[in-house]
Structure 1
Amino acid sequence: MTGLHERHLAVSPEWLALYYRHPLELTHGEGRHVWDADGTRYLDFFGGILTTMTAHALPEVTKAVSEQAGRLIHSSTLYLNRPMVELAERVAALSGIPDARVFFTTSGTEANDTALLLATAHRGSNQILAMRNSYHGRSFSAVSVTGNRSWSTTSLSPLQTLYVHGGVRTRGPYAELSDERFVKACVADLEDLLGHTRGVAALIAEPVQGVGGFTAPPDGLYAAFREVLDRHGILWISDEVQTGWGRTGDHFWGWQAHASSGPPDILTFAKGIGNGMSIGGVVARAEVMNCLDANSISTFGGSPVTMAAGLANLSYLLEHDLQGNARRVGGLLIERLRALGAGLPAVREVRGRGLMIGIELVKPGSDDADPDAAAAVLEAAREGGLLIGKGGGHNTSVLRIAPPLSLTVAEAEEGAEILGEALRAAS
């Protein structure tokens, strides 16, 4: 055990998890690579949990941060803030939400917490619909709408939460149905659920479940849900903390895979927009955003430094068509990984979209999740020079692959080769 690890254990909560038997101290990064304290270089296929979205040490972002820090680091939302207004204007225009208003926070948890506050205040109800296997953050309210038991740390709640089918396509009672019948069954379940309650405030849903193992419903499910929600006056909150900014390749936002229903009433974002700087936020149409009848500010949300980073990062993302790169390189990587997994009985499924890919592992000859195998692959990949993540609703048995969106074809091939060797070694 290293000295830093011992010091960490002495001052940190027991539940503050670390990856690897011998935890890593990362000291610096460049592009799609990071280095540890021993000087070992790794290809980064997890990006600090999908947060280093464009590249490590991206010059455009570091320059913007440095220049803004040299002028003014902090002011709070009590003062006019040019970088905040400029980023809000761009996010509002990109959101697809008409007459949009934007409120910045410091994390995805805080963004979802704010969205729940808005929805319950607007509807005058504390009833929330959420998806099974979902994850929305670690605050008291966000935990209470998290449908993944591994991350739901308390049964106490300020909200009455009802969980809906549909977020997991290949497990559960509807897994064997065709996509069309799957959607119809989930809609029927939603209709039945609403028949037993009244005054629900909102449905909160990730278009692709992140912590849940990068699982998603068939395209169009949330459009079908939206028809039901609209009849009941229920708001739709799209949690885009992990799916936003083009990561799925096909769309800029995850909700656009269900676009026949139009944009959500509320959209939350975080992670990649700051490329590592602490930015989250909420977008909602003015009627919803303005429903609060008491004062509310943010001390650190909209910080001039983080806003400068977000502006530079968003400009880089759009100017270099990183969404298109995620689609092209991600498509190649998914096919490569599916080919590798085809001959391995421990690989149940390789799924994903763009540069958001999950590999679900099971005990060979069964459909039982195998978290031990996932942990072994994580270790073996590190030994090979590759950093990946893990998650899933069935005992953390899904390998999560989410590199920076500037990933090259050569790096995708390199990572796939290392991952293939790690999978074979663990098998």
Structure 2
Amino acid sequence: MTSDDLLARHRAVMPSWMPIYYEEPLELVSGKGRRVTGADGREYLDFFGGVLTNMIGYDIPEITDPVRRQLDTGIVHTSTLYLIRQQVELAEKIARLSGIPDAKVFFTNSGTEANETALLLATAYRRSNQILAVRNSYHGRTYATMGITGHRSWSASSLNPLNVTFLHSGDRLRGLLAHLDDDAHIDAAVADLREVLATSTAGDVAALIAEPIQGVGGFVSAPDGLFGAYRKVLDETGILFISDEVQTGWGRTGEHFWGYQAHGVTPDLLTFAKGIGNGFALAGVVGRADVLDAIDVVSFSTFGGNPVSAAAGNAVVDYVLNNDLQANAARTGAILHEGLAARTKDLGIVGEVRGKGLMIGIELIEPGTTRPNSYATVRVFEECRRLGLLVGKGGLYGNTLRMGPPLTLTDDEAREGLDILVEALTIVDGEVQA
């Protein structure tokens, strides 16, 4: 079978709205550490990790061995109608690590489902369907999560069961508050929140949901401390705060274990997914016990936190803590952030290098302007692959390179990836300005 055969078969049976990367789509057939091998026979350094999901890397014995041991028991699935030791042990770890007092945990299969559950809990607890969300955000592809997504490219329908009002994003390049310094930005954002509550809601809002760093939005983040300032306003009327940590959790930002910790605030609910399973389907919500217990009917997740995925989750959390991957993300992330800032400052297509730790975004522009340059983004994206590096792309205008390497990235691999990025950017900058 050739790659062309697989592509034709894919197009015949998969919906047209499922994107496939690259002019010549790539099938990945094996992986080891931070590297993958394609059906084309080439090896690539992976800086996207299955959209920040292969957080520990590929073929890591400390993860695969516990999963195999669980498989060897013959118990792949039981449902939560029975006690699941792996699930309980993982919930205990996450409750302790969450920073939320008296926390409980509910497991799901994906970040979308985790956010859907958080919305259900918040609206049930507050007896209100009013939600505050943030422009440029992404929270999932289901009916309710699509309604709180402030990114038109990902909102397939205007219909949703919630009454949603959007706050300003933290976009520092062209957002409405971009011209303000951090303190003035926070003051203006808080003033906007107060005005929104006074004018665009019925007052009894259920919750604010926000990503500490907007993932699909291109790794945009508001100034540190904004969520803490928001919280003072929310507490005046009991509005809950939900921190969407699907992409920012588990030490990826380097400076903190959770993204919310940069803001001097503790959320009522925190959603997690992606990296916790290192490729196995695992996600969930952790939060205040009284909010988790707000559902007064019978409910459960058939597959959420199943024995195999929970075994992977336990192994991932242990690996992150035992190997201090947060510190590794800070160190290797600094190599990339500082190197990109220094070595791309004279490239006209680079509008901004942003993010924290091993969340790196490079927004590309038309030289001399702030206009998005999607052409240059696609060219750099393809050049990176040609040079042996896999990256992602996104952002509100599709002009941001997104990178979330495994948290096990080595210093040498960070430098290798940096060199490829700079070379690809330099080649395309020369093309654009020729």
Q: Distance in 2 between matches of 1:284 and 1:91?
A: 10
SS class of match (2:302): coil
Asked whether 1:256 is paired with 2:261, we answer yes
What is the CA deviation profile of residues 339-376 of structure 1, one whole-angstrom value per residue up to 9, with x for unaligned ones?
A: 22201010000011100010000011111001111111
The Cα shift of 1:166 comes to 3.6
Asked whether 1:143 is paired with 2:146, we answer yes
Q: Distance in 1 between matches of 2:275 and 2:189?
A: 31
What is the CA deviation profile of residues 201-250 of structure 1, one whole-angstrom value per residue up to 9, with x for unaligned ones?
A: 10000000000000101100000000000102100000000000000000
**Conservation of the 8 A alpha-carbon contact between 2:66 and 2:315:** yes
Give me the CA root mean square deviation.
0.8
The equivalent of 2:184 in structure 1 is: 181
What is the CA deviation profile of residues 165-213 of structure 1, one whole-angstrom value per residue up to 9, with x for unaligned ones?
A: 1432332221111110010000000000001221111000000000000
Q: Distance in 1 between matches of 2:386 and 2:227?
A: 41
Asked whether 1:283 is paired with 2:286, we answer yes
Q: Distance in 2 between matches of 1:169 and 1:285?
A: 33
The amino acid across from 1:414 in the alignment is E
Asked whether 1:234 is paired with 2:239, we answer yes
Of the three residues 325, 328, 338, the one matched with 2:328 is 325
- What are structure 1's unaligned runs of at least 5 residues? none
**Conservation of the 8 A alpha-carbon contact between 2:100 and 2:268:** yes
The equivalent of 1:107 in structure 2 is: 110
Q: Distance in 1 between matches of 2:4 and 2:383?
A: 20
What aligned pairs does 1:279-318 form with structure 2 within 5 A after superposition? 279-318=282-321
Mean Cα displacement is larger for which, 318-327 or 365-374? 365-374
Q: Distance in 1 between matches of 2:170 and 2:303?
A: 33
Asked whether 1:69 is paired with 2:98, we answer no
What aligned pairs does 1:318-397 form with structure 2 within 5 A after superposition? 318-393=321-396, 395-397=397-399
Percentage of identical aligned residues: 58
Q: Distance in 2 between matches of 1:401 and 1:357?
A: 5
What is the CA deviation profile of residues 234-283 of structure 1, one whole-angstrom value per residue up to 9, with x for unaligned ones?
A: 00000000000000000000000012x3x100000000011111100000
**Conservation of the 8 A alpha-carbon contact between 1:98 and 1:285:** yes
TM-score under structure 1 normalisation? 0.98
SS class of match (1:217): coil
Of the three residues 264, 269, 273, the one matched with 1:266 is 269
Q: Distance in 2 between matches of 1:226 and 1:249?
A: 24
The amino acid across from 1:235 in the alignment is L
The equivalent of 2:170 in structure 1 is: 167
Of the three residues 110, 115, 119, the one matched with 1:116 is 119
Q: Distance in 2 between matches of 1:391 and 1:193?
A: 28
The equivalent of 1:410 in structure 2 is: 412
SS class of match (1:2): helix
Q: Distance in 2 between matches of 1:358 and 1:125?
A: 36
TM-score under structure 2 normalisation? 0.97
Q: Distance in 1 between matches of 2:156 and 2:221?
A: 24
The Cα shift of 1:326 comes to 0.2
Q: Distance in 2 between matches of 1:317 and 1:16?
A: 32
The amino acid across from 2:165 in the alignment is L
**Conservation of the 8 A alpha-carbon contact between 1:128 and 1:161:** yes
The amino acid across from 1:231 in the alignment is E
- What are structure 2's unaligned runs of at least 5 residues? 430-434
